[in-house]
Amino acid sequence: MPIIEVTDLQKQYPLPENKSEKFYAVNGVSLAIAQGEIFGILGPNGAGKTTTLEMLEGLNDIDGGVATIDGISVNENPYKVKQVIGVQLQANEYFDNINLEELLSLFAALYNSTIDPMTLLAKVQLEEKARAKPASLSGGQKQRFSIACALVNDPKVLFLDEPTTGLDPQAKRNLWELVQDLNASGMAIVLTTHNMEEAEQLCNRIAIMDHGKIIAEGTPQELILEHAPEPPEAPLHGDLEDVFLVLTGHGLRE
C-alpha cells in the first residue's frame, strides 16, 4: 500500500483581475508514492507544486479530491496527519534569540515528544553548532537545521520544498547526502525542485506539473528516453532539463 495516495486533488483561487471568477491552481492531480521512495515534483513557477504540498501537509484546504498519508485522510484528519509527517521550515520562522539545541527541544514539545537534541544535530552534522543562533548559520547549515526541525517527531514522510535553492555546490551536495541517508532509513521523501541535476540524482520517480496538472510521470530515465532521446549535439540522449523544456515550454525560472 502506498504511503501517500492522492486522487483528483483540486485547489481554486479567485482570479486577481476578476474576483468573481476562479482558476485552478491544482486541477485533478493524482499520485501514489511508496514508502521508502524519493518522489520529485517539478514544474515552472506557478505550476501548482507548492500548493499541492501545502494541501498534503494540511496547511491549505483541499477543495476537491481526496488524499491519504499512512492511511490517514488529510481531508478529515489534517492534525493527525501532522503527527506522521515532517515539513521543512524556512529560516526566518525561527526565534532568533534561542540557540539550535533549545529550538529543537521547543519544536519537540509541540509534538508532546522528548528528543535528544544533540543526537538530532549530529544526524544533520551540526552538533558543533548546538549553542549557535540561527542567524549565525551559513545557508547550507540553515537548510540542514530546517530538516532537523522537521525530524523532531520521527516522521514517516518528509516534505522538502526546493531545499537547495541558493546553496553553493558543496552545500548542495551535503544536503543531497543527508536526504539520501534519511531515505536509506526507510523514510519517504517528497520534494519540489527547479534543479534538474538534483531531481535526476535523488529521485526514484518524478512528476512534472504545468498549469495545475501532472503532464508526465516516471523515473528520470523513463522520462528522458520518452521525451528527450536525441537532443542536438548530444551523443546518446537528453537529460531531465530537456524533458522539462519539451513538456512545459518554459525555462527553469520563467
Assess contact for 3 and 32: CB atoms under 8 A.
no
High-pLDDT (> 70) share of the chain, %: 93
194 closest CA partner among 234, 158, 163, 172: 163
Instruction: Give the Cα-Cα-Cα angle 47, 24, 253 (nearest 5 degrees).
Output: 15
Q: Above 70 in pLDDT, residue 93?
A: no
Q: In what order do the strands lie in the sheet with 64-69?
A: 18-33, 4-15, 64-69, 72-73
What CATH class has 4-83+156-248? alpha beta
HSE toward the beta carbon, residue 253, CA cutoff 13 A:
1
Backbone angles phi, psi at 13, to 5 degrees: -135, 155
CA distances from 92 to 3, 14, 96 (A): 30, 28, 8
Q: In what order do the strands lie in the sheet with 213-218?
A: 85-87, 157-161, 188-192, 38-42, 205-210, 213-218
Q: What does the alpha-carbon distance between residue 69 and residue 80 come to, in Å, rounded to a whole number?
A: 10
Mean per-residue pLDDT, 230-234: 60
56 closest CA partner among 207, 204, 171: 207
**Could you give the residue range(s) of every CATH 3.40.50.300 domain in the chain?**
4-83+156-248
Cα end-to-end span (Å), the chain: 37
Mean per-residue pLDDT, 181-204: 94
Q: Above 80 in pLDDT, residue 242?
A: no
Assess contact for 239 and 196: CB atoms under 8 A.
yes
45 closest CA partner among 253, 202, 240, 241: 253
Digit-coded pLDDT (tens) for 158-188: 999 999 988 888 888 999 999 999 999 999 9
Mean per-residue pLDDT, 236-246: 74
For 187, the grid coordinates are 523514510
Q: What does the alpha-carbon distance between residue 151 and residue 149 come to, in Å, rounded to a whole number?
A: 5
pTM of the predicted model as reported, rounded to 2 decimal places: 0.87
Task: Work out whether the CA dihedral 241, 244, 246, 251 comes out positive or negative.
Answer: negative
